[in-house]
Amino acid sequence: MAVRPATEKRSRASAAPSRTQKSGKSANPAVNYQVAEFDKDDELKAYHDMLLIRRFEEKAGQLYGMGLIGGFCHLYIGQEAVVVGIQKALRDGEDQVTTSYRDHGHMLACGMDPKGVMAELTGRQGGYSRGKGGSMHMFSREKQFFGGHGIVGAQVPIGAGLAFADKYRGTDNVSVVYFGDGAANQGQVYETFNMAELWKLPVIFVIENNRYAMGTSVSRSSAQTDFAKRGESFNIRGEQVDGMDVRAVKAAADRAVEWARSGNGPYILEMQTYRYRGHSMSDPAKYRSKDEVQKMRDERDPIEQVRKRLVEKGWASEDDLKEIDKQVRAVVTEAADFASADAEPDPSELWTDILR
Ligand SMILES: Cc1ncc(C[n+]2csc(CCOP(=O)(O)OP(=O)(O)O)c2C)c(N)n1
Ligand SMILES: [Mg+2]
Structurally, how many domains does the chain consist of? Answer: 1
349 occurs within a structural domain: no
Decide if 158 is inside a domain. Answer: yes
Mean pLDDT of the chain: 92
Give the pLDDT of residue 2.
47
Q: Is residue 16 a part of any domain in this protein?
A: no
**Cα of 65 from ligand 1 centre, angstroms:** 22
Measured CA to CA, the distance from residue 273 to residue 84 in angstroms comes to: 13
Question: Given the CA of residue 184, which atom of ligand 1 is nearest to it?
Answer: 15
Atom of ligand 1 nearest to the CA of 209: 16
Residue 46 lies in a domain: yes
The residues whose Cβ lies within 5 A of ligand 2, an ion, are 180-181, 210, 213
pLDDT of 113 strictly over 60: yes
Range of the domain at 266: 31-340
Give every CB contact of residue 319 below 8 A, 6+ residues apart in sequence: none
Q: Which ligand is nearest to the CA of 178?
A: 1
- Could you tell me the distance, in angstroms and rounded to a whole number, from the CA of residue 214 to the centre of ligand 1? 6
Ligand 2 midpoint to CA 43 (Å): 27
Q: What single-letter amino acid sits at 126?
A: G
Residue 54 backbone zone (phi > 0: left; psi -120 to 50: alpha; other: beta): alpha
Q: Which residues line ligand 1 (CB under 6 A)?
A: 100, 102, 150-152, 180-183, 208, 210, 212-214, 279
The predicted model gives 257-280 an average pLDDT of 98
Residues 204-253 have pLDDT tens digits of 999 999 999 999 999 999 999 999 999 999 999 999 999 999 999 999 99
Predicted TM-score of the model (pTM): 0.92
Asked whether the predicted pLDDT for residue 124 surpasses 60, the reply is yes
**The ligand 1 atom nearest the CA atom of 210:** 20
Compute, in angstroms, the gap from residue 2 CA to the centroid of ligand 1.
Answer: 37
**Residue 33 and residue 7: Cα distance in Å, rounded?**
9
CA of 210 to the centre of ligand 2 (A): 5
What pLDDT, on a 0 to 100 scale, did the predictor assign at position 181? Answer: 98
Q: How far apart are CA 241 and CA 306, in angstroms?
A: 17
C-alpha torsion sign, points 113, 115, 119, 125: negative
Secondary structure (3-state) at 99: coil
Q: Does the residue 20 lie in any domain?
A: no
- In this predicted model, what pLDDT tens digit does every residue of 296-315 receive, in sequence order? 999 999 999 999 999 999 99
| Domain membership flag for residue 86 | yes
Which of the pair, 25 or 264, is modelled with greater confidence? Answer: 264
Q: What is the CATH number of the domain that holds 122?
A: 3.40.50.970
Q: Is residue 353 part of a domain?
A: no
Q: Which residues 6+ apart lie within 8 Å of 206 measured at CB?
A: 82, 86, 176, 177, 178, 179, 269, 271
Q: Are 84 and 49 in contact (CB under 8 A)?
A: yes
Question: Quick check: is 18 in a domain?
Answer: no
Q: What is the pLDDT of residue 1?
A: 45
- pLDDT, position 355: 84
